[in-house]
Amino acid sequence: MSGKIFVVFLCLLMVVSVAQAKKEKTAIIKNDIAVDKKYGWELPVPKNWKAKNHKEPNVERLFLQKKNYLINPYIQTYGGDYTIPRVLIYVQEFNGTLDDFQNLLMKSLEEHKSDNEIISKMGLLKDGEHIVSSDVLLGSRPAKQIYLKRNYIRLLYITGGGGNLDGKQEYINDNEVHEIYLIKVDNLIMVIQAYCEREFYEANSGEFQSLVESLKLPEK
């Protein structure tokens, strides 16, 4: 094979490899089970949740959103913003400890910025606030459980006298509850972020817990 032909062949091979990489997904979702072959974990997807993967490369590996969920009755009647319960799974290389990552997260809430890609994607930099954290076990693995809240001002309802819509708006200060788990797998950090509106956290916390406990991690 001549030098020119070899160079052309090599270029074509690189183009094909790049094209295939773009088509790869962060997790394969089949038969209600999400499997991340790159990092070796899998998660059963409950019937009341829909799962979405992403294109590689991405630190966000899986996005889950609840199908049937509660909405504030005023929002349901008059319209307005609301948060659908969600669970997100992130993975990235991280050579520090669980405490190191937690410290990075706490620092980001104070400074409202972070160089860490996962923390930047979690949506807590502007209005996040730490509530409590503790050491837990997920299976046999040590983990961190962190509760945060994201504060916001939202439209509660638009109504006039007798229930007629007249453009009058009322706003309230409220927050989402974010239940976060940090797990170390070799040189990787796995972050699970589950959240919903404060008033519906009690109704969703059991499902959040079941999802996290059903996560199957690679063997040590």
Mind listing the pLDDT tens digit for each residue in 155-191? 765 655 555 555 567 788 999 999 999 999 999 999 9
- Indicate whether 193 belongs to any domain: yes
Q: Which residues pair with 44 in a beta bridge?
A: 33
DSSP 198: G
Any domain includes 91: yes
Residues 149-179 as b or e (16 or more Cβ within 10 Å = b): bbebebbbbbbeeeeeeeeeeeeeebbbbbb
* Boundaries of domain holding 171: 3-214
Within a domain: 124? yes
Task: Report yes or no on 187 lying in a domain.
Answer: yes
Q: Specify the CATH number for the domain of residue 183.
A: 3.40.1000.10
* Residue 220 within any structural domain of the chain: no
Q: How far is CA 208 from the centre of its chain?
A: 12
Half-sphere exposure at residue 92, Cβ-oriented, CA atoms within 13 angstroms? 16
Residue 133 CB contacts under 8 Å (≥ 6 apart), including other chains: 102, 144, 145, 146, 147
CA distance 195 to 84: 8
Q: Give 169's DSSP letter.
A: E
Q: Is the pTM of this model over 0.75?
A: yes
Query: Is residue 70 left, alpha or beta, with left meaning phi > 0 and alpha meaning psi from -120 to 50?
Result: beta
Q: What are the average pLDDT values for consecutive 10-residue runs of the chain, which has 220 residues?
A: 55 50 87 97 98 98 98 82 96 98 98 98 97 96 98 74 60 94 97 98 98 93
81 HSE (CA, 13 A, CB side)? 14
Query: What's the pLDDT at 41?
Result: 98
Nearest to 194 by CA among 209, 184, 183: 209
Do the domain assignments include residue 151? Answer: yes
What is the count of structural domains for the chain?
A: 1
Token pair for residue 152? 């916001």
Position 25 in a domain: yes
Whether 219 is in a domain gets the answer no
